[in-house]
Structure 1
């Protein structure tokens, strides 16, 4: 059985990236453990119109009914399964990742379940993928990212490309999510790869939920 992936969503702008990744994985029949910081819920409300006061209802509305399943644990539940290295996972993606969360991980703070779970990935040698979203970056941001990169963390900044000819915001989101899926070694057709023709691949994914 395929081990679940952990997906973390923080208070950085770009909540749509995390939502799109979760829906793609669930549509492909994969299971996820979902961690959302309080600031992450605020951004889901501000950017996507989610009702942050009805968290479980919102999750079921947007992530229920797929062939894959999700487990949601409150961010302060440090006794949740992902807080232990004995709970086996495929790895963790934090998308988007705020500079505060990135700093906490780089310094081993483990102040909440998301940071503790990331710490577990590091100590157990499992894949940890971080999608930071901030600009401009100052020296502390860069030093924290360098520290994590030297530990084997994959850093994928939210920097959409344009060589695939995006026609909409969805296309730009799909590109970033596709780059994350590449690092997760999950097959997809979310964007046209460089050097391919329309006959070899095509933008978008026929299995992507509406």
Structure 2
């Protein structure tokens, strides 16, 4: 029996930070991870506003792409095995970007964390002394992947920072 490739569902909403989703897809593609991409309509609008990368290019970074309202899409089924996202105890990493956070945001994040999700605000690690926005993106996306058990090189971790 052939083992299944690592499979990640990437859901992209209209919150700012489209570059994080794009870079995540680029890295997962380079690692030969099977990706299933779902955009909200506002994600496409935000991506168009924040980047000059066409939506079709981003779709091609994913192994599979589904329409938001496609209820027959494999990721909508609880029997669809994946290594990250929500449904029946699978890993879920929420990349929350809104600021300031209201009490409702915090209560909702607390509830999903208690249910097993990882809350991941893409806060820059300034101790790495990032020189470009790409450095910040690499570090954030690398840490997101770490939380799913997918380890990549190309960004500094705390153990790399010793200054004796």
TM-score using structure 2 length: 0.90
Report the Cα distance in structure 1 between the residues aligned to 2:144 and 2:77, rounded to whole angstroms.
24
Q: What's the counterpart of residue 78 of structure 1?
A: 71
Unmatched segments (≥5 aa) in structure 1: 64-68, 93-117, 199-210
Mapping 1:18-167, distance limit 5 Å? 18-51=21-54, 55-56=55-56, 59-60=59-60, 63=61, 70-92=63-85, 118=86, 121=87, 124-167=88-131
Change (3 A) 1:58 1:194: closer
C-alpha distance in structure 2 between counterparts of 1:58 and 1:82, whole Å:
19
For 2:150, the equivalent position in structure 1 comes to 186
Following the alignment from structure 2 to structure 1, what is the Cα–Cα distance between the partners of residues 11 and 137?
Answer: 17
Match of 1:172 in 2: 136
Residues in 2 aligned to 1:141 and 1:127: alpha-carbon distance in whole angstroms:
20
SS in 1 for 2:90: coil
Alpha-carbon offset, residue 11 of structure 1: 0.3
Quote how far apart the aligned CAs of 1:57 are.
Answer: 5.7
- The total of aligned residue pairs comes to 159
Q: Tell me how far apart the structure 1 counterparts of residues 56 and 130 of structure 2 sit (CA, whole Å).
A: 33
**Mean Cα displacement is larger for which, 141-150 or 156-165?**
156-165
Is the CA contact 2:22–2:58 (under 8 Å) kept in the aligned structure 1?
no
TM-score normalised by L of structure 1: 0.71
What per-residue deviation string (whole Å, max 9, x for no partner) do you get for residues 106-128 of structure 1?
Answer: xxxxxxxxxxxx4xx2xx11100
* Aligned partners of 1:3 and 1:88 also within 8 Å: no
Gaps of 5+ in 2: none
Q: What is the DSSP-based 3-state SS (H/G/I as helix, E as strand, rest coil) of the residue aligned with 1:177?
A: helix
Say which SS state the counterpart of residue 128 (structure 2) adopts.
coil
Post-superposition CA distance 1:42-71 (Å, at most 9, x none): 0110001244xxx446523xx2xxxxx610
2-structure distance, mates of 1:85, 1:167: 42
CA RMSD after TM alignment: 1.6
Greater than 3 Å deviation, 4+ residue runs: 55-58
